[in-house]
Structure 1
Amino acid sequence: MAKPLIEFTDNGIYCPQGKFYIDPWKPVDDAVITHAHSDHARWGNKRYLAHHLSREVLLYRLGDISLQTIEYGEKVMKNGVEISLHPAGHVIGSAQVRIEYKGQVWVISGDYKTEDDGVCAPFEPVKCHHFISECTFGMPVFQWKPQQQLFDEVNKWWRGNAENNIATVIVGYLLGKAQRILQNLDLSIGKVYTHGVIENTNEALRRNGIILNETHRITPETSKDEVRKCIILAPPSSVGTPWMRRFQPYSFGYCSGWMALRGAKRRRAADRGFILSDHADWSGLISAIDATGCEKVYLTHGYTAPFARYLSEIGFDAHEVHTLFGDDESPNQTPSEDEEAPSKSPPEGETFSAELSSSSPSGGGWEEAI
């Protein structure tokens, strides 16, 4: 029997034949990065490989790193192993990693969503023997509305606030969610103002050639009256801070897939909760996994245990993999994701398990996190 092309180790997902890791959570020599969120792109690796649209955000966040970037579908070889990146539809520059050696094909999804958001390259299923998939929202309760319907609600809310002379603050993750919101706002209503960390990310993306709608950075000189009928894009870390309170009176909306759960909006003290996620919903996960034609599927971060059980019941050979990958939408926000400066050191004080099991409990604790 051929040795598996992928191993699950204490440093992360490892290809021993190619001598590289995919999204390692400890510093290694060679790292292939699925996307620029900090739980997947960590500081300290000697060499990085990523999609070219992740380049400027990775350099902004990680500093002066040795970074090679490639296009979707472009093939590179590492120690005889063929590597290519394919659209994941998660955020701008996000990619699935396809690796092949002697006819054995594995695909590591990273984070992904199956709905085309019109901002990043849409998800493309990749045929493989083994598929490593996230399942952040791997429960039937998570079923997303069509994007247009969701943003019709957002724009109607903003318009009503503007007519009542109330500022509008909308909160979303600074890489991915913020740009998706920005590109779907009705700019006939007013201008878009941004928190500094969101604007820094926008600027990095613009340096990479991404065309985004016009935004205005909020500075200490920005007055309350100036933004009264406008909309303010803010990161989760700004909720409840003096920075946000300075714009009172305002209506505060929170965008997250977790808004599908009862009580999530109340726990964030939001006036409105919009169910908007850059991860696949229940139906999207199942359709994406099925489209790969895989012989085995390995599930990381999320509702891994119940989702693995369900997949097994409908005929998949499904397994859990416990990793350090987090959830960029979780209330347990990774601190470095909302800092003004890029992260320069690996996370400390974290514990993890890299066991591969088909029956062990999910390590995510997502129900409790909400």
Structure 2
Amino acid sequence: MITFTNSGLYCAAGDFYIDPWKPVTRAVITHAHSDHARLGSRYYLCENATVPLLQLRLGQDINVQGIAYNEAIYFNGVKVTLHPAGHIIGSAQIRLEKDGEVWVVSGDYKLENDGLSSPFEPVKCHTFITESTFGLPIYRWAPQEEIFSGIGQWVDDNRQSGKASVLLAYSLGKAQRVMQHLQHKTEKFLVHGAIANTHEALVHNGWKLPPIEHITPDTPKSAFPNSIIIAPPSADVSWMKKFSPYALGICSGWMTVRGNMRRQNADAGFALSDHADWPGLLSAVKATGAEKVYVTHGFSSVFARYLHEQGIAAEEVVTAYGEEENGNIVNN
């Protein structure tokens, strides 16, 4: 039902693309991260909560339609429904059905309920297209309560040393998750402009998020000591100098490999990801009951080979996903 083209995942029967990386006439979007939602298409379909995020990132004048999870829409006889992916707010798996055949495109997903995103729901299908960002056995996440407890202790230690705590977290998804779970540690978070813009869009559309203060050139230096500062991975080191003395922590699944923390010149690394780990990927694939699995971005060849060894027909597919914020390793 889906073919893999130079523009993206194409459903010829319905004449639409899913997360195209080139401009197309009709695009169905799994979520608002920049590697899955790109400018230039004539029409976009997404989950309701993703609409303001697409407008924030692609422009208010885009032609976008939002639908609820499990609400059906038809394109030339192809039934399309969206189902929670648990990746970020508004993220969805795309289910396609025609003549009794069912395909599911997962986009990006995680199985642990983060307290903000609608929790991942496995969808039965004949063919499943899965990501494999962390498709190696070394990637196994600790429960998020344990991770956030460690981050909280790190913040306390920094305060005892008279330092601000700067946490790098992707501006859409990770930043909101971090603030949600650390709000008991501060009256308000100080945040980078990219995070402030996302925060404003979400609050304007009814999401209840912790209080923030947008850091500007006018923010007094007296605001920084002992504070919790949230910045995207793209934040420049020169921008952070104003916070001195501070400690730098990175929230990313890539922090499982300690060398990544050293290469980023960070003081601490926390293996917090909005993607499924190795056991999560395997659990998700099994829960679909799919007879055929296509594996995209990440360790796709390794994961596809492992599935094949387990008796599941699996194949690696090359896509243009997995390069959020210029592919910086701390995004995931």
SS at 2:115 equivalent:
coil
Identity %: 54
Letter in 1 for 2:30: T
Relative distance call for 1:156 and 1:187 in structure 2 (3 A) is same
- Distance of 1:252 and 1:330 partners within structure 2: 21
2:97 paired with 1:87: no
Query: Structure 2 residue aligned with 1:310, among 291, 301, 306?
Result: 306
2:31 paired with 1:35: yes
Consecutive unaligned residues of structure 1, counting only runs of 5 or more, are 338-365
- Distance of 2:74 and 2:287 partners within structure 1: 26
2:199 paired with 1:202: yes
SS at 1:221 equivalent:
coil
Any conservation in 2 of the 1:56–1:207 contact (CA below 8 Å)? no
Any conservation in 1 of the 2:234–2:325 contact (CA below 8 Å)? no
What is the Cα deviation at residue 208 of structure 1? 2.0
> Could you state the TM-score of these two structures normalised by the residue count of structure 1?
0.87
Query: Structure 2 residue aligned with 1:69, among 66, 69, 94?
Result: 66
Query: Structure 1 residue aligned with 2:239, among 238, 243, 258?
Result: 243
**Counterpart position of 1:350:** none
SS at 1:86 equivalent:
strand
Residues 195-234 of structure 1 deviation map (CA, whole Å, 9 limit, x = unaligned): 0110101111112211111111111111222121110000
**Counterpart position of 1:181:** 178
**Counterpart position of 1:351:** none
What is the Cα deviation at residue 243 of structure 1? 1.1
SS at 1:290 equivalent:
helix
**Counterpart position of 1:259:** 255
Any conservation in 1 of the 2:14–2:75 contact (CA below 8 Å)? yes
Consecutive unaligned residues of structure 2, counting only runs of 5 or more, are none
**Counterpart position of 1:340:** none
What is the Cα deviation at residue 331 of structure 1? 5.1
Root mean square deviation of aligned Cα: 1.6
**Counterpart position of 2:120:** 123
What is the Cα deviation at residue 265 of structure 1? 0.2
Of 153-162 and 22-31, the range deviating more from structure 2: 153-162
User: Residues 1-370 of structure 1: matches in 2 within 5 Å?
Assistant: 5-63=1-59, 64-240=61-237, 242-328=238-324, 332=328
- Distance of 2:230 and 2:107 partners within structure 1: 26
- Distance of 1:168 and 1:238 partners within structure 2: 14
**Counterpart position of 1:358:** none
Any conservation in 1 of the 2:183–2:210 contact (CA below 8 Å)? no
Any conservation in 2 of the 1:55–1:208 contact (CA below 8 Å)? no
- Distance of 1:188 and 1:35 partners within structure 2: 30
Runs (4+) of structure 1 exceeding 2 A deviation are 186-191, 327-334
- Distance of 1:72 and 1:21 partners within structure 2: 19
SS at 2:258 equivalent:
coil
Any conservation in 2 of the 1:258–1:329 contact (CA below 8 Å)? no
Any conservation in 2 of the 1:190–1:229 contact (CA below 8 Å)? no
SS at 2:324 equivalent:
coil
SS at 1:298 equivalent:
strand
Letter in 2 for 1:253: G
> Could you state the TM-score of these two structures normalised by the residue count of structure 2?
0.97
Alignment length (residue pairs): 331
What is the Cα deviation at residue 333 of structure 1? 6.8
